[in-house]
Amino acid sequence: MKNKGVNIVVVGTGYVGLVSGACFAEMGHRVVCVDNDVKKIKMLKKLQMPIYEEGLEDLVKKNVKAGRLFFTTNVKDAINYGGKRAEVFFIAVGTPPRDDGSADLSAVEKVSSDIAENMSDYTVIVEKSTVPVETCLWIEKTVKKHNKKNIPFDVCSNPEFLKEGVAINDFLKPDRIVVGVSSKRAEEVMRRIYKPLSNYPLLVCDVKSAELIKHASNSFLSTKISFINAVANICEKTGADVELVAKGMGLDKRIGPAFLKPGIGFGGFCFPKDLEAFYWLSKQKGYDFEMLKEVKKINDEQKNWMVKKVEGELWNIHGKTIAILGLSFKPKTDDMRFAPSVDIINALIKKGARIKAYDPAAMANAKKIFKNKIYYARDVYDCIRETDCICLVSEWEEFSSIDFNKVLRLVNHPLLIDGRNFYKPEELRALGFTYISVGRP
């Protein structure tokens, strides 16, 4: 990946910002990562990761050692960090949802004004966070307002398509790179940045189309998940097997097998938030995208599937002890934002259940959410010991090697509710488990 590196600043060191910064450095660029969280930056300077993402720690250490990756707490320092002027700013700050479903863009506005007040020469400002269409227009207005020296600049959109758990691979071996630009000068800069990834598809388009591509993509994938979960409910009522139905559908090249995996619904910070934001935006523009409301409704109901199954088997949940295996919204991440486990556990607690929980990576984040309301297990077997029901919520690979003969000796009742269709029904039933999965007879 030999390339004349670009001097880049990435503002925000969350799942998108830190991965992007480390990967840009790996591509040969000089990168300064900025975050106003002093504790987080201190950790990173000590080469300690504030988030869990496979391969990230090694990548950060490698590029810090190579002198391509740096960390600081404010934009002003980053502009000329180490005497090198920043050519490009990537904005990767949080855009949390408001109560009405719209995205809170106050952090984006603050960063935009900080950049405007400190830039000294032509600068490309790139929106990397997932934002509604026309956000770049507001960034441009904000920069003009605070750009007292009339420094030339361009605003671009470069949406991320990273899946937590495999984010580094997604960045360095992407399905596509989307860049929305408003000038040839900005396009040339963005092409320089992504030249090391020239073997992968690069779509250059207008800024608004680039912004819309991200929301449309995530909303479509969310729709596929809710669709197969709705099909799973039909399968349960008819005796069909949703796994075979999904396989038969996925063999059609027009449909494909990806995201036709039945379960207890999608979570994480992207799909739920982007779905809400896309629906909110459509309403603001005078179009009622009702299908997105139904996608959300199906997903919310799917989280209740597990609670209903527990109640259907235990009759009275009050006073029962339930093991929750997996807390993060998906394997290979510690992210619990909008994780189905949160709604499931809260619903079970409300019904009087005692909860024991275990996750290979998300225990620290779980403690921030549940405090002392649940028991935090040391390992799988500590979690399932003396429980009345086991619920698999996130399908971590570690759970594939559980000794179920040992489990039989530890539990009060051999009841397993598999929210991800992770196990083979015939094997667990042969051992003596009451085994329940999604949409399988």
Amino acid at 5: G
Band of pLDDT at residue 190, cut at 50, 70 and 90: very high
Given strand 202-205, what is the order of strands in its sheet? 69-72, 30-34, 7-11, 88-91, 123-127, 153-157, 177-180, 202-205
| CA–centroid distance for 244 within its chain | 28
pLDDT for 1 beyond 50: no
Active site residues: 270
What token pair was written down for 160?
């991320």
For residue 301, with 0-12 CB atoms within 10 Å meaning exposed, 13-18 middle and 19 or more buried, which class applies? middle
pLDDT digits (tens, 9 = 90+) for 80-102: 998 999 999 999 998 887 888 77
How would residue 119 be classed by pLDDT, with cut points 50, 70 and 90? Answer: very high
51-61 residue pLDDT tens: 999 999 999 99
All structural domains of the chain, each given as residue ranges with its CATH number in brackets, are 7-205 (3.40.50.720), 219-437 (3.40.50.720)
Look at residue 323 and tell me whether its pLDDT is greater than 70.
yes
pLDDT above 70 as % of the chain:
99
Per-residue pLDDT tens over the stretch 215-273: 899 999 999 999 999 999 999 999 999 999 999 999 999 999 999 999 999 998 788 88
CB 134 within 8 A of CB 277: no
Residue 103's pLDDT band, with cuts at 50, 70 and 90, is confident
Indicate the pTM of the whole model: 0.87
DSSP string, 410-439: H-SS-EEEETT--S-HHHHHHHT-EEEESS
pLDDT at 3 over 60: no
* Mean pLDDT on 276-294: 91
